[in-house]
């Protein structure tokens, strides 16, 4: 099988951002506390805004490992890709017989659910996580979808987007749902969706994977 161009490791961008912010905080404490900074560092911890980057990186790695173990033998998976002319990145792209899957991994705490907040005679479905409206999460996927279509130059290939919550809670009878055209789901059900039969042959899966890997460079050098 031909070798794919190199891509980043899963979670590499998030891990790099965490390390950058962590080092910045350490330097600020050194400047403020001088010789006492070691004690201050020992007694304090990074704020949640910094630790969230490390948690996100772990979630991306965990999801990549899970997908590799469940559907890796029949797919091409690319991780942490940079969108040209943008500071944004794509967590995962999985190319399978069922099409191209753009996957945004989320490591959020709390229950994931869809609520209709439209009121009387009006439908307005929103994504809620831990009781908070997080519908904005699907907005970033639009740019990712456009980048993939621009890269493959083939509108006949199905491009699907998914928000995958790797360690959130779901109700007992919960099912994946669509929010703004994106599938909101968890790793097991995402893997099942990717594994569905589809029109792409193994040769086409590899060809599309090579095309995307060339067009969307690694967000972090390998």
36 in a domain, yes or no? yes
pLDDT at 4: 53
Residues pairing with 162 in the sheet: 103, 183
- Region of residue 63 (left: phi > 0; alpha: psi -120 to 50; beta: else): alpha
Question: Which domain, by its residues, includes 105?
Answer: 12-215
pLDDT at 1 over 60: no
pLDDT at 222 over 70: no
Give per-residue pLDDT as tens, 28-49.
Answer: 767 877 776 676 666 677 777 7
Q: Would you call 17 helix, strand, or coil by DSSP?
A: helix
Query: Residue 110: exposed, middle, or buried by beta-carbon count in 10 A (0-12, 13-18, 19+)?
Result: middle
Closest alpha carbon to 221 in 55, 21, 30, 16: 16
pLDDT at 120: 83
DSSP-derived secondary structure for 51-62: HHHHHHHHHHHH
pLDDT at 33: 74
120 in a domain, yes or no? yes
57 in a domain, yes or no? yes
81 in a domain, yes or no? yes
220 in a domain, yes or no? no
What's the mean per-residue pLDDT of the chain?
85
pLDDT at 100: 96
180 in a domain, yes or no? yes
74 in a domain, yes or no? yes
User: Could you tell me the CA-to-CA distances from 194 to 89, 102, 109, 188, 189 in Å, in that order?
Assistant: 21, 11, 25, 10, 9
Domain count, the chain: 1
221 in a domain, yes or no? no
- Up-side HSE of residue 221: CA atoms within 13 Å toward CB? 0
pLDDT at 6 over 70: no
């Amino acid at each position: 099988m031909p070798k794919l161009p190199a891509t980043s490791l899963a979670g590499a961008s998030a891990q790099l951002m965490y390390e950058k912010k962590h080092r910045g905080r350490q330097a600020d404490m050194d400047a403020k506390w001088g010789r006492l900074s070691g004690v201050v560092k020992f007694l304090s911890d990074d704020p949640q805004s910094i630790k969230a980057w490390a948690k996100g990186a772990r979630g991306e790695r965990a999801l990549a490992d899970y997908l590799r173990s469940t559907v890796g033998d029949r797919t091409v998976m690319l991780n942490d890709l940079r969108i040209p002319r943008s500071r944004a990145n794509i967590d995962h792209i999985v190319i399978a017989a069922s099409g191209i899957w753009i996957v945004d991994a989320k490591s959020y705490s709390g229950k994931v659910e869809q609520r209709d907040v439209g009121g009387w005679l009006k439908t307005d479905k929103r994504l809620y996580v831990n009781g908070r409206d997080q519908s904005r999460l699907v907005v970033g996927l639009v740019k990712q979808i456009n980048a993939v279509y621009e890269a493959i130059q083939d509108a006949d290939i199905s491009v699907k987007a998914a928000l995958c919550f790797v360690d959130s809670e779901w109700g007992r009878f919960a099912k994946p749902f669509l929010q703004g055209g994106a599938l909101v789901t968890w790793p097991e059900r995402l893997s099942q969706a990717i594994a569905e039969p589809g029109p792409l042959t193994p040769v086409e899966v590899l060809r599309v994977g090579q095309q995307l890997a060339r067009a969307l460079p690694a967000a972090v050098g390998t």
